[in-house]
């Protein structure tokens, strides 16, 4: 018996967009960490491996006019939008 899974093009595109926005948000966060570490002292630097939600707040304090915050928020919003589309599509079509 052979199992064949059919994935609709809309689910495939939404999944790829979700992954793209997730990777882009991570890259933006790493850029923000680099910029934070340029300005702060040695003992107050943020680790590239263990970081959390404090990166956005510290970056906004150090660079109040930067567009990276807007880009990060946009990526997170679009990522959640893709996830909601995938979840509702999966529930509606089983």
The model's pLDDT over 4-57, given as tens digits with 9 standing for 90+, comes to 777 788 888 888 999 999 999 999 999 999 999 999 998 888 888 887 888 988
**What pTM value is reported for the model?**
0.82
Closest CA to 73 of 94, 56, 51: 56
Instruction: Output the pLDDT for position 54.
Output: 85
57, two tokens = 């707040």
Angle 31-32-33 (CA atoms, 0-180°, nearest 5)? 90
pLDDT at 43: 87
CA dihedral 62, 45, 21, 86 (to 10 degrees): -110
């Amino acid at each position: 018996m052979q199992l064949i899974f059919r994935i609709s093009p809309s689910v495939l595109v939404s999944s790829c967009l979700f992954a793209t926005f997730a990777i882009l948000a991570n890259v933006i966060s790493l850029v923000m960490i680099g910029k934070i570490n340029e300005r702060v002292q040695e003992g107050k630097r943020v680790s590239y491996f263990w970081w959390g939600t404090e990166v956005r707040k510290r970056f906004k304090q150090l660079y109040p006019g930067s567009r990276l915050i807007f880009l990060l928020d946009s990526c997170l919003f679009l990522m959640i939008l893709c996830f909601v589309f995938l979840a509702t599509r999966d529930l509606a079509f089983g």
